[in-house]
Amino acid sequence: MDIVNLTIDNKPVVVKSGTTILEAASGVGMHIPTLCHMKLDDLNIENKPGGCRICVVEVEGRRNLAPACCTDVSEGMKINTHSMRVINARRTVMELILSDHPFDCLICAKSGNCELQDLAHNLGIREIHYKGEQSTYREDTSPAIIREVDKCIMCRRCETMCNEVQTVGVLSAINRGFESVVSPAFEMNLDHSVCTYCGQCVAVCPTGALTEVDETGKVIRALSDPTKTVIVQTAPAVRAALGEEFGMEAGSLVTGKMVAALRRLGFDHVFDTDFAADLTIMEEGTELLNRLGKHLAGDKDVKLPILTSCCPAWVKFFEHQFPEMKDIPSTARSPQQMFGAIAKTYFADQLGIKREDLVVVSIMPCVAKKYECGRDEFKTNDNPDVDHAITTRELAALIKLSNIEFKSLPNEDFDNPLGESTGAGVIFGTTGGVIEAAVRTAYEIHTKKELPRLDFDELRGMEGIREATIDFDGLPIKIGIAHGLGNARKLLEDIQAGKSEFHAIEIMSCPGGCIGGGGQPYHHGDAGILKKRQAALYQEDKNKTLRKSHENPHIIELYEKFLGEPMSEKAHHLLHTEYFDRT
């Protein structure tokens, strides 16, 4: 039977068979509260352990209450979503959760953004009737993520992200009964595990159990130090999401306001990671063409497909999981690190200051960037190319802390020389964007012809794995795209098995790419937000006069004045890196 008739709170409802009670109720405007359940439409991500028992409803004729999130409707079902029995059970379950949760909401990193807090409010919890022992665990701090496990409510969302979506397999439930908790195996620290710091666990945690390492204090200290010149770079995906932190519609582009806010925070120069993204395309695109040229010339040793290397979680992932393939990804550093390397050489020279007196702060949609900028290979004399990486959320906190009324800020422009960018740099923030940017440049360099079109719709979208063939003037270039490390794993396994026919593959760790990064404003399970951010980036690209990286005048100038040409020795030294076997 395809159609099911039922009643929900006495309202007749007709839905397709296979619909859950939760979905059926939602269709008629009854929003049954949930806690552990999370469904990211279009991304094929669902966490449905049926564990929290908040969504229980009464089904006539059934002995016990049914969890709405994982009970399918059936013909003639009579459901009550808010009977006294249901409300009593729901509130009792909520009280039980709260009875094992710290009461430090006022000083919790998640305060105001906490789904547990909201739910407690919505359920009208005023008292905990069942008090008792609370679980206590030590705090686990890593370079990027803090685990405050006392606040874990066993929703298992992080576990789903870590295991099923990312296939990293660090977080899972351990111990039994009241002692159960989500943790790395043997309760080891995150930084001893194979965690990639992708931060998708942080992105979906409903409470303050998983948060990013807060570095706003370090940024404030740097900004207050008169001996330091403090510059900032902003990743492309930040501008498409920052507004959400100030109550603006998802997908609002706030580039100009963001620049204005950063200037008011006291940064001496406000630059753009998009500039470095253009630079990345110059290097990575050239590397692709080099490998391709050798391949076409019959060189059997050349490694194809080339894999993008902008994403630090992806880099750490293959270093742990596929170390034997570490010579396949491009050696190009990520835009964040290219920016840092250029800033602390080229730009510091221009200012006539020592690299130690220049502080580079980056605003990232990502928590892995915190880890990336601390990697030893990105330091000179122990001084990192990028000093502090803070997330979109942390920037919002800084802006609020500094009494800046974000929404009423004027639009301002980035500073130069490291603030100029093309549309190609902008779309780095979404899945498919890096490879599209690379295609725009590689095509023109390879064919020496102007591209007939700039929008490659075949590379865009939200499907986890996408593929397309781009005609390079008679030469078909096969391109693969994966976002989410589980999808990346599939493509890597194909390469391993010798089944991959791609010339180039773009990989981003986070579902949706950087727009869905672990440092972005919380989407609270609404994948529509990611789509709006994606649309905003493509819009920003369209708005740009220059949309091809190799046309960025400041990039051209950088090569002329400093680097020579792409893949030059200097470029190699500053803009490329190596990978390590971490097994």
Partner 1 sequence: MTDYKMHLLICGGTGCKASESDEIKKRLNQLIHDLGLADEVQVVLTGCFGFCEKGPIVKVLPDNTFYVQVTPNDVVEIVEEHIVKGRLVKRLLYTDPTNDEQISDSKGMDFYKKQIRIALKNCGFINPENIDEYIARDGYQALGKCLSERTPEEVIKEVKDSGLRGRGGGGFPTGLKWEITKNVENDQKYVVCNADEGDPGAFMDRSILEGDPHSVLEAMAICGYCIGADKGLVYIRAEYPLAIQRLKIAIKQAEEYGLIGDDILGTGFNFHIELRYGAGAFVCGEETALIHSMEGLRGEPTFKPPFPSVSGYMGKPTNVNNVETFANIPVILNKGAEWFSKIGTEKSKGTKVFALAGKINNVGLIEVPMGTTLREVIYDIGGGIKDGKEFKAVQTGGPSGGCLTKDFLDLPIDYDNLLASGSMMGSGGMIVMDENDCMVSIAKFYLDFTLEESCGKCTPCRVGNKRLYELLDKITQGKGEEQDIEKLKELSVVIKDTALCGLGQTSPNPVLSTIKNFEDEYKAHVLDGKCPAGQCKSLLRYDIVEDLCTGCTLCFRNCPVGAISGERRQPHYIDQTLCIKCGVCYEKCKFNAITLT
Q: How far is the CB of 523 from partner 1 (least distance, A)?
A: 24
Q: How far is the CB of 176 from partner 1 (least distance, A)?
A: 6
Q: Is 372 a catalytic residue?
A: yes
Question: Per the residue annotation, which of 187, 249, 377, 565 is the catalytic one?
Answer: 377
Q: How far is the CB of 124 from partner 1 (least distance, A)?
A: 17
Q: Is 420 a catalytic residue?
A: no
Q: How far is the CB of 518 from partner 1 (least distance, A)?
A: 25
Q: What are phi and psi of 167, to 5 degrees?
A: 50, 30
Question: Per the residue annotation, which of 514, 531, 540, 549 is the catalytic one?
Answer: 514
Q: Interface residues with partner 1 (CB under 8 A)?
A: 49-54, 56, 64-65, 67, 70-72, 85, 88-89, 92-93, 96-97, 99-100, 129-130, 132-133, 153-154, 172-173, 175-181
| Residues facing 56 on adjacent strands | 67
CB atoms within 10 A of CB 266: 14
Q: Is 510 a catalytic residue?
A: no
Q: Is 23 a catalytic residue?
A: no
Q: Under a CB-based contact definition with an 8 Å cutoff, are residues 459 and 436 in contact?
A: yes
User: In what helix (H) or strand (E) does residue 572 lie, and over which residues does it extend?
Assistant: helix 569-575
Question: Per the residue annotation, which of 115, 159, 283, 287 is the catalytic one?
Answer: 287
Q: How far is the CB of 72 from partner 1 (least distance, A)?
A: 8
CA distance 6 to 424: 51
Q: Is 284 a catalytic residue?
A: yes
Q: Is 198 a catalytic residue?
A: no
Q: Is 373 a catalytic residue?
A: no
Task: Report the residue number, 60 or 471, with the smaller CB distance to partner 1.
Answer: 60
Task: Report the residue number, 52 or 258, with the smaller CB distance to partner 1.
Answer: 52
Q: How far is the CB of 51 from partner 1 (least distance, A)?
A: 5
Angle formed by the axes of helices 115-122 and 84-99, to 10°? 140
Task: Report the residue number, 10 or 64, with the smaller CB distance to partner 1.
Answer: 64
Task: Report the residue number, 88 or 411, with the smaller CB distance to partner 1.
Answer: 88
For 448-513, where are the alpha helices, taking DSSP H only?
485-496
| Region of 578 on the Ramachandran plot (φ > 0 left; ψ -120 to 50 alpha; else beta) | beta
SS (H, E, C) 408-461: HCCCCCCCCCCCCCCHHHHHHHCCCHHHHHHHHHHHHHHHCCCCCCCCCHHHCC
Q: Is 366 a catalytic residue?
A: no
CA distance 332 to 280: 7
CB atoms within 10 A of CB 409: 19
Question: Per the residue annotation, which of 330, 362, 421, 549 is the catalytic one?
Answer: 330
User: In what helix (H) or strand (E) does residue 292 lie, and over which residues does it extend?
Assistant: helix 273-296
Task: Report the residue number, 71 or 252, with the smaller CB distance to partner 1.
Answer: 71
Q: How far is the CB of 107 from partner 1 (least distance, A)?
A: 24
Task: Report the residue number, 69 or 368, with the smaller CB distance to partner 1.
Answer: 69
SS (H, E, C) 328-367: CECCECCHHHHHHHHHHHHHHHHHCCCHHHEEEEEEECCC
Task: Report the residue number, 67 or 512, with the smaller CB distance to partner 1.
Answer: 67
For 11, the 3-state DSSP assignment is strand
CB atoms within 10 A of CB 50: 16
Question: Per the residue annotation, which of 58, 159, 244, 372 is the catalytic one?
Answer: 372
Question: Per the residue annotation, which of 69, 162, 310, 366 is the catalytic one?
Answer: 310
CB atoms within 10 A of CB 1: 8
Residues marked active site are found at: 284, 287, 310, 330, 369, 372, 377, 514
